[in-house]
Structure 1
Amino acid sequence: MELSRASTVNVYNTRGRALVRVTITQVAVHAGVSVASASRALNGQIASAKTVAKVQQAAEELGYVADATAQSLKLGRTNQLAYAVADIGNPVYVEMMTAIERVVSASGYRLVLSSTGTSSSSVDVVRDLGRGYVDGMILSPLRVTDELLSALAKTPTPVVVLGRLPDSATLDTVRADSITAMRLLVDHLVEEGRGDVVFVNGPSDTTPGALRRDGFAAAVAAHPAISARSVGADDFTIAAGYAAALRVLQEHPRPDAIVAANDLIGIGSIQAATDLGLTVPGDIAITGVDNTELAGVIRPGLTSVDLGAEERGRVAAELLLARIEEPNRPAHTVTVAPSLVVRGSSRARTQGPAVSPPSHRTEASDLNDERAAR
């Protein structure tokens, strides 16, 4: 039996809330139009203004919500994109996420956030792309394993990687330049008269840990007059940085500078120095990497290298959208150049932050730099 308009409201709507899921058929009955007309009106297809108004009013009164699964099957898209990172609390990832969301939302996409944690979780996230819950993903893996590379090669969903992959991986990638970042920091400390520098790294089996370790080694090799060594923290966190720096600063002779692998380790190092009664930068200069918001609010301000997190996020989002629209386009690699931001943690007096704006380069210039480095 066909429901009347009044009975439809009574059965399916109480105080503005649907008792059961309202269907488009019920919306059509309530509006007094055909199901086809209701569907056209709700999906932005050709329909008279009068019909659209009636259908939209009926949908609102009944509490109708479109079935996203059915729509995605019909359209072949979910209008969702994923952003997968190891630690959603890390301020670098948050800055990237903000830039990514700004780009994709302007194109009508919703951003879904996923925390991968370990390398195995990254593999699981990539494999799950086959379920079709998103139209594309931006992935920032902490570790790049053979298993992850295999999963990336097999996924039918467009993926852009924030980080470095082997040359054999034909995927869109956006890279930071950690090698140059370390050089900028070491050169700065040498200019400030520091002669005994310790690099406090995070786990060296991670991509950033390995690149920053190698970058530091190359940077100090250019300054044979200084003494330099590396120690490892258990993680890229404030607590891990504090513990590692505490050990370093209690050694004799004590170094006069610490290069931290990221800002969180740098902030932990400042706290360790303070707890030992040392002055920063008087007794010890401390620098970080990433130039997060925290680097500017801690006292003294943390000298840091800006790796262009916002720019990397923006470029990654644009590459992903381009890949979705043109699946067969050639893979692109973009490297974002770093810039040094000098604050009070590495020298007693500053004339304000010394900043050179980051930029991005294409795959060709990146490959030329790598050949030169070899």
Structure 2
Amino acid sequence: MLKTNKLKIFNDPIYGFITIPNSVIFNLIEHNYFQRLRRISQMGMSYLVYPGAHHTRFHHAIGCMHLMQKAVQTLRFKGVSISNEEENALYIAILLHDIGHGPFSHAMEHSIVNGISHEQISLLFMEDLNSEFNESLTLAITIFKGDYHRKFLCQLISSQLDMDRADYLKRDSFYTGVSEGNINSERLITMLNVVDDALVIEEKGIYSVEKFLVARRLMYWQVYLHKTGLVTEQLLTRMLQRAKELTKQGVELESSEPLAYFLKHDVSFDDFKSDELKMFARLDDYDIVSAMKAWQHHPDFVLSNLCEMIINRHLLKIKIKKNVIKPKQLSKHIENLKTEYGISDFEASYFVFSGSISNQAYEQGTQDINILYKSGKIVDIVKASDQLNLKALTKPVTKYFICYPKDKM
């Protein structure tokens, strides 16, 4: 049942007052699917590193919508034609771009659903809402998928300088207290323009773009790929994998109905029908936390220890290295663990493992960030900038990690 519009105002700690532009947006925000984002953390379990990082996907989505309003206003002021239908579609697409995230944002994608990304689930939610809202989301879905003929509108949703990145860098910097990520989103948006159906940044905004790219690099190494956050997400993913494994063996685990459903069923993209979508919409961080609190006392050695590690922040030791981890480094820790606790190689592999992380702040040649000079010349930011380190930011940097228990689990 759709509710009557009330032009409410959000008081956001980043941007101040944010207005809801129309009744469709209001009704989408009021919908259960969107309200669920209040219970999905924006940064997973990064609060174990940065205690203030308790903000949610709801915060982020509302912030993105606000920046999109600023972008539309700026481009129209500069003579770029954007119809009312396109404007509303942009607001809907950016508002719902993250609606498919599961508990703790990314852990679900690698554990209890198979081969399906949050972007794909977001699209399924949008299509379901489109049916409920009398096909009023059709244009928003086309733009979200990148299929709309006016490509700059798609770039506002997804590109190397979109409203998503413009919000999350500034917002995550604020809530973590990591000042290196505090970009000037408003300045970047003020410098936006469109040439040949593509977004460009006017020459005066070049230093803001440089700051944006450097901030992105620093936030990834310092926050998103922080070693403690990394090991916590690995533990969370392995905990869910172990729970699913035990469930398949017939072990009854205490959990909520939606979590139990995804533990019992192998759900891939082809399996994601209406019933699965509605069940997924009932799943949030609270289901996982309550399950962990119960499972830390389960008799299974692996499950109980993984849960206890996360709940009480008794995490694995993690080391980041420049070179690939050699198998003998892993086998040494696995043998120690087997001897200490009398467990199998397979069980030990839940606590001793390696992997890699990669950071590339700017992908040159992929929807480049272009600078528009007063002469009309358009140049890629790397060539336009006099900062030598921007060229370095185009190269992916890969590091390798090894995780293993400290002296005692």
The two structures have a TM-score, normalised by structure 2, of 0.22
Q: Which structure has more strand as a fraction of its residues?
A: 1
Determine which structure has more spread, i.e. the larger CA radius of gyration.
1
Higher relative contact order (CA 8 A, sep 6+): 2
The two structures have a TM-score, normalised by structure 1, of 0.23
Q: Which structure has more helix as a fraction of its residues?
A: 2
